[in-house]
Structure 1
Amino acid sequence: MARADFYLIGKPRFREQPLLLVCELARKAVHAGQPLLVLASSAAQAEELDDLLWSFDPDEFLPHQIAGAEEDEDEVEVLIAPPEQSPPMRALVLNLRDEPVPPGFERVLEVVPADESARGPLRARWTHYKSLGLDVTKHDM
């Protein structure tokens, strides 16, 4: 059964830099051997995440790239897709965009901002995924 996991930002380091949580989730996916597709909300966010994945842990490299940059993107473990790119869906998708992920995944990860006023679209997505019959879970981070 497909599932949706919502990660609620709470810890100060994630409040200051929400993309650090994305890096942590990407690391978990790589360690679990699950190729991850990250749907970035903008080209600028894709670039920022690309830079952060190089530097967030000096002792570890997570293979990643931005979609459209090279030919062998099927092979890379973490593929970051800005809105103008539409690479093939993967089983594991991390969504940073405002709209729900279309079907085709086994598991979707949603990062919920610490700011209560920014959580409206996430509540709508929670309801949307539940209406599709997904198993929906919340994690406090």
Structure 2
Amino acid sequence: MTRIEFYVLPDADPKGRLLAACRLASKAWQHELPVFVRCQDERECGELDALLWSFRGERFIPHNLHDEDPMAPVVIGLDQPPAQPQAVLINLAQDLSGHLDRYSRVFEIVNQEPHQLARSRENFRVYRRQGYDPKRVEL
């Protein structure tokens, strides 16, 4: 069964969610796991793409937008199905992916912005109703 983890940030900075996504993507890639980062919209896809280029100055994180290369080690997209089986999903969108069964792990990144926090709490409950056992991880 897919493992679900909610990574909880201590503040409400929206860029913190993107930086956490970069750290998690880098760690999964270092463990040779394919990664799909699911963004809320095209604007966020572009922001994350730009951030991944500069995130680790000493080490490049190979990535691409889904429309350009769905087989990249780290793929940035919306809710396209993953091209690689058993990938890690980093979910920055407000709702759950329609492709949960295609991922081995799902990382939800939560900050303290009230609207985002409320959506994450609802997602936590939905995961539980669907039979998953989500875990909380403090960052």
- TM-score of the two chains, using structure 2 as the length reference: 0.87
Aligned to 1:106: 104
The question of whether the paired residues in 2 share the 8 Å contact of 1:2 and 1:135 is answered with: no
Deviation at 1:68? 0.6
Q: Which runs of 5+ in 2 are unaligned?
A: none
Amino acid at match of 2:132: L
Distance 1:88 1:56, change over 3 A: closer
Deviation at 1:138? 0.7
The question of whether the paired residues in 1 share the 8 Å contact of 2:35 and 2:89 is answered with: yes
Aligned to 1:134: 132
Deviation at 1:117? 4.2
Correspondence 1:30 to 2:26 = no
Equivalent of residue 120 in structure 2, options 122, 125, 131: 122
CA RMSD of aligned residues (A): 1.9
The question of whether the paired residues in 2 share the 8 Å contact of 1:67 and 1:87 is answered with: no
Aligned-partner Cα distance in 1 for 2:14–2:107: 20
Correspondence 1:50 to 2:46 = no
Task: Give the SS at the match of 2:89.
Answer: strand
Aligned length: 134
Aligned-partner Cα distance in 2 for 1:88–1:32: 18
- TM-score of the two chains, using structure 1 as the length reference: 0.85
Quote the sequence identity (%). Answer: 28
Task: Give the SS at the match of 1:17.
Answer: helix
Equivalent of residue 79 in structure 1, options 75, 87, 109: 75
State the Cα deviation string for residues 61-81 of structure 1 (Å, max 9, x = none): 0110011124xx22x110000
Q: Which runs of 5+ in 1 are unaligned?
A: none
Task: Give the SS at the match of 2:6.
Answer: strand
